[in-house]
């Protein structure tokens, strides 16, 4: 059986992975502090994988307090080469309706004060990393083809707005994001994607549209947590089906 080279980072609604035969849990200590939790090693669809719950296994770490550097460093040092990042998001543009899956191809970073790079201390030279295409296209296409193959309703491209959180956005902020060209909004896409690029990890996001963003959708009223939970539950069922299909092909 192939060694673990694939990691799945679970977001809201995916703190565990049904179908994962757990073989061991590994506590990692990093130069950047503690990750969100132990790395869960296991077998999914006949392939060794590593699972990490981004918000902690009890979903207790808010987006702005996640130690993204520790998480990505830990995965890299566990021998990971590919990362499928699962995230719950809000839909901005018309086709981003709940509970669709989306495989974004671009991202805009609106976060601040997060540890966003490995290249800042004890450098022999200044390091710049190309981020023109923030998601690995090969991995993104594998997710797209997997979704097509099992008939999942998915959007195959879009721009992800990464906001600070933990509060949700105002209607005016969502209007601004749409003017900037954003299609969906979440709180964990950055600096996770950029840190993965700095460590040469192939990284792609599978986003579940949990709700219409502020001021969007029918009625454009307040965002209902009951509706969010219902959409996340339905969307994550599709994510699990997708992972079981795609993981053996990677």
Q: Answer yes or no: is 112 a known binding residue.
A: no
Gap between the terminal Cα atoms of the chain: 13
Ranges of beta strands (E only) in the chain are: 6-10, 21-26, 39-44, 47-53, 82-91, 101-102, 106-109, 154-155, 159-162, 184-186, 202-212
Is residue 77 within 8 Å of 32, Cβ to Cβ? no
Q: What are 123's two structure tokens?
A: 């450098």
Q: Answer yes or no: is 55 a known binding residue.
A: yes
Give the residue among 62, 17, 14, 67 at the shortest CA–CA distance from 37.
67
Q: Answer yes or no: is 188 a known binding residue.
A: yes
Separation between Cα atoms, residue 153 and residue 101, nearest integer Å: 7
Cα distances from 3 to residues 6, 24, 29, 80, 95, in angstroms, run 9, 14, 21, 9, 38
DSSP category for residue 155: E
Q: Answer yes or no: is 187 a known binding residue.
A: yes
Separation between Cα atoms, residue 150 and residue 9, nearest integer Å: 22
Q: Answer yes or no: is 77 a known binding residue.
A: no
Label the pairing between strands 154-155 and 101-102.
parallel
Q: Answer yes or no: is 212 a known binding residue.
A: yes
Q: Answer yes or no: is 73 a known binding residue.
A: no
Give the residue among 229, 87, 106, 225 at the shortest CA–CA distance from 168.
225
Q: Answer yes or no: is 205 a known binding residue.
A: no
Binding-site residues for phosphate sit at 12, 54-55, 188
Binding-site residues sit at 12, 54-55, 187-188, 211-213
Binding-site residues for substrate sit at 187, 211-213
């Amino acid at each position: 059986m192939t060694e673990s080279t694939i990691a799945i980072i679970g977001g809201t609604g995916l703190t565990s992975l049904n179908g994962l035969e757990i073989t061991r849990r590994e506590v990692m200590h990093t130069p950047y502090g503690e990750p969100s939790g132990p790395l869960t090693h296991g077998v999914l669809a006949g392939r060794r994988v590593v699972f990490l719950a981004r918000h902690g296994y009890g979903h207790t770490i808010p987006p702005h307090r996640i130690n993204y550097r520790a998480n990505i460093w830990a995965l890299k040092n566990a021998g990971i080469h590919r990362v499928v990042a699962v995230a719950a998001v809000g839909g901005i543009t018309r086709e981003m309706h709940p509970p669709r899956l989306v495989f974004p191809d671009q991202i805009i970073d609106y976060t601040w004060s997060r540890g966003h790079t490995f290249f800042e201390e004890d450098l022999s030279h200044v390091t710049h990393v190309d981020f023109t295409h923030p998601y690995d296209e090969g991995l993104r296409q594998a997710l797209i083809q997997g979704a097509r193959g099992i008939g999942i309703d998915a959007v195959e491209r879009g721009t992800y707005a990464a906001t600070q959180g933990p509060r949700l956005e105002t209607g005016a902020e969502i209007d601004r994001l749409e003017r900037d060209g954003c299609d969906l909004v979440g709180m964990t896409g950055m600096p996770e994607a950029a840190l993965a690029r700095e460590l040469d990890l192939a990284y792609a996001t599978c986003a579940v549209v949990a709700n219409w963003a502020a001021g969007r959708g029918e009625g454009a009223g307040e965002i209902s947590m009951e509706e969010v939970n219902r959409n996340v539950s339905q969307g994550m069922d599709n994510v699990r089906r997708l992972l079981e299909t795609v993981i053996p092909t990677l």
